[in-house]
Amino acid sequence: MIEKLSRLFVRTLRDDPVDAEVPSHRWLVRAGYIRRVAPGIYSWLPLGMKVLQKVEGIVREEMLAMGAQEVHFPALLPREPYETTNRWTDYGDNLFRLKDRRGNDMLLGPTHEEIFTLTVKDMYNSYKDLPLSLFQIQTKYRDEARPRAGVLRGREFVMKDSYSFDIDDAGLDASYQAHRDAYVRIFDRLGLNYVIVSAMAGAMGGSASEEFLAVAPNGEDTFVRSPGGYAANVEAVRVAPPEALSIDEAPEMTVVDTPAAGSISAVVDFLNAEHPQSEPWTADQMLKNIAYVLTRPDGTTEPLIVGLPGDRDVDAKRLEAVFEPSTVAPFNAEDFEKHPVLKVGFMGPVDAAGQAVLGEESASSIRYVVDPRIVTGSHWVTGANAVDQHLTGVTMGRDFTPDGVLDVADVRDGDPAPDGSGPMQLARGIEMGHIFQLGRRYADALGLKVLDNNGKLVTVTMGSYGVGVSRAVAAVAETTCDDKGLCWPLELAPYQVQILATGKDAAVFEEADRIAGELSQQGLDVLLDDRKASPGVKFADGEILGMPIIVVVGRGLADGVVEVRNRATGARSEVAVADAVSAVLELAGA
Ligand code: ATP
Ligand code: MG
């Protein structure tokens, strides 16, 4: 087909949108693919629609090919099922809530586990009905705290979500694997450079879980990879704890006056100056304790102290991921006032008399959890719970016993992979898809049971699988665009070819028309820039709009040639007019 730019509903913009943080956002808006209506809420214009529909098409084909059946469930939903699974509360501020005219609570679906579970429960009652996989490509609503980067993180967005229903764990494994295979085909066809990483299950609950991340420096997710094939979202990394040490070999606990040394580096410097030993004191011998307030979705709070080696920091995203749907914030001055036992800069699990200060069983009864590197027999320099005092030789398992382990320290380039497969490297990515085994959580909560082959009622086991369809448009744009504009791969471009008729000669427009007609007949989609605009404007727009092949019909026509450009590589060649169509077809691989 042929579309003429003179009638296409599009306006390219010369300036970047003020809120554009990443190139894909800038170019999708400037090229007239999407338009902002409110923060995180975008309209799709004709060019954007075409790309979105192509992504949808690929996702739909692959889901149907793996045997899932397409449905479309409402986005506007009643409260009750979400109340039953606790997600009305757990989703917190991320849930868009509203009331109907009768005052009933409603919500705009952020994800649809509840409704799929209930619908299957209504319709099916036997193992013979399973396995079943259902999917939809539908608009989701999440009142994201930080809508960002255009449609990359919207508050309204298009997701493909699917749900599998099986009678037993083996069935779930097979459904999960079938989805995983389909996702590999989908992201291959989208042309994304992606990695599959172990993930945290998050608010959905459940066990086995992997994410598909498009490798991109602007991505919000950090993941690690090792030479031996370990790959995980940094949130899901579980540090392999070192071997426990012998308590008998630990030094005595000793009080040290550390005047005004309330930070790790100040204590290290002070000890090296005033109490030197054969090996200098280092930050990784310190036990750093940080106080947090945990706020549950119902608004109740609880203090929590995290202990970790002094050379490490808490990774906020890893911490958040562990406690989701609760939120975690560092103690502020007011919190410290409420807990006078905690001395800023001098916190530690015991005092100089050896009395426990932190921990549920201690006088403070504040929960105390430590990094997995803090193993039995390891000894530390830490605060003495008195201003200007520290303790050395504080030994885990002898002088203190924490309430548990919390693995939230920052993960660094070169840290060993937990499975022994070598040093980990960090990189960033955009989460494109997430697959996970929900197990029986939703089926249990909502009573989805079927009769097994012995006539016994058993609870169905489920999986849940998402692809960010609108996000994929932005992710492809993000990983393909350059400093001049968008740069679509052939399979996703709104049109494979853009023809620029430059100049005023009627012959130029006639020839451009003719070439467009022939290409269209050959099955290509063609965008014809037939506007009465300067060549400079047309060249610039051609680059911004990002069709993979650009044909320039202009000055060269007098000599019988046109120019064929590859938008992605920038390669240009002059070809005889008569060869223009075949040159384009070759580039298009048609
Ligand atoms: P994120 O960590 O990026 O917020 P999520 O873990 O909340 O994602 P899921 O609930 O697993 O995501 O949703 C499935 C898919 O939907 C994600 O893999 C992502 O591609 C897409 N998605 C999630 N939130 C958004 C959003 N706000 N805007 C666009 N796409 C989104
Ligand atoms: Mg999210």
Per-residue pLDDT tens, the chain, 590 aa: give them.
999 999 999 999 999 988 888 999 999 999 999 999 999 999 999 999 999 999 999 999 999 999 999 999 999 999 999 999 999 998 989 999 999 999 999 999 999 999 999 999 999 999 999 999 999 999 999 999 989 899 999 999 999 999 999 999 999 999 999 999 999 999 999 999 999 999 976 544 446 899 999 999 999 999 999 999 999 999 999 898 999 999 999 899 999 998 888 889 998 999 899 999 899 999 999 999 999 999 998 889 999 999 999 999 999 999 998 998 899 999 999 999 999 999 988 999 999 999 999 999 998 899 999 999 999 999 999 999 988 999 999 999 999 999 999 999 999 999 999 999 999 999 999 999 999 999 999 999 999 999 999 999 999 999 999 999 999 999 999 999 999 999 999 999 999 999 999 988 899 999 999 999 999 999 999 999 999 999 999 999 999 999 999 999 999 999 999 999 999 999 999 999 999 999 999 999 97
- Residue 416, both tokens: 């060993």
Any ligand 1 atom below 6 A from CB of 142: yes
Any ligand 1 atom below 6 A from CB of 154: yes
**Nearest CA, atom 25, ligand 1:** 153
Tell which atom from ligand 1 comes closest to the C-alpha of 155. Answer: 27
Burial (CB < 10 A; 0-12, 13-18, 19+), residue 341, is middle
Any ligand 1 atom below 6 A from CB of 111: yes
For residue 148, which ligand has an atom nearest its CA? Answer: 1
The alpha carbon of 184 and the centre of ligand 1 are apart by a number of angstroms equal to 18
Handedness of CA 192, 196, 200, 202 (dihedral sign): positive
The alpha carbon of 426 and the centre of ligand 2 are apart by a number of angstroms equal to 21
Any ligand 1 atom below 6 A from CB of 468: yes
The alpha carbon of 310 and the centre of ligand 2 are apart by a number of angstroms equal to 31
Q: What is the pTM of this model?
A: 0.91
- Mention every residue, 6+ apart, whose C-beta is less than 8 A from residue 473: 28, 33, 48, 51, 52, 55, 151, 492
3-state SS, residue 110: coil
Rounded CA-CA distance 309/262 in Å is 16
Any ligand 1 atom below 6 A from CB of 466: yes
- E-state strands within 252-356: 254-257, 287-295, 301-309, 327-330
Tell which atom from ligand 1 comes closest to the C-alpha of 466. Answer: 14
Closest by CA to 434, choosing from 251, 214, 237, 257, is 214
Tell which atom from ligand 1 comes closest to the C-alpha of 430. Answer: 3
Any ligand 1 atom below 6 A from CB of 226: no
For residue 94, which ligand has an atom nearest its CA? Answer: 2
Contact 113, 445 (CB under 8 A): no
For residue 143, which ligand has an atom nearest its CA? Answer: 1
Rounded CA-CA distance 401/527 in Å is 70
Contact 318, 358 (CB under 8 A): no
**Nearest CA, atom 28, ligand 1:** 153
The alpha carbon of 523 and the centre of ligand 2 are apart by a number of angstroms equal to 40
Residue that the structure tokens 């590589």 belong to: 569
Q: How far is CA 509 from the centre of its chain?
A: 47
Any ligand 1 atom below 6 A from CB of 434: yes
Length, in residues, of the chain:
590
Any ligand 1 atom below 6 A from CB of 26: no
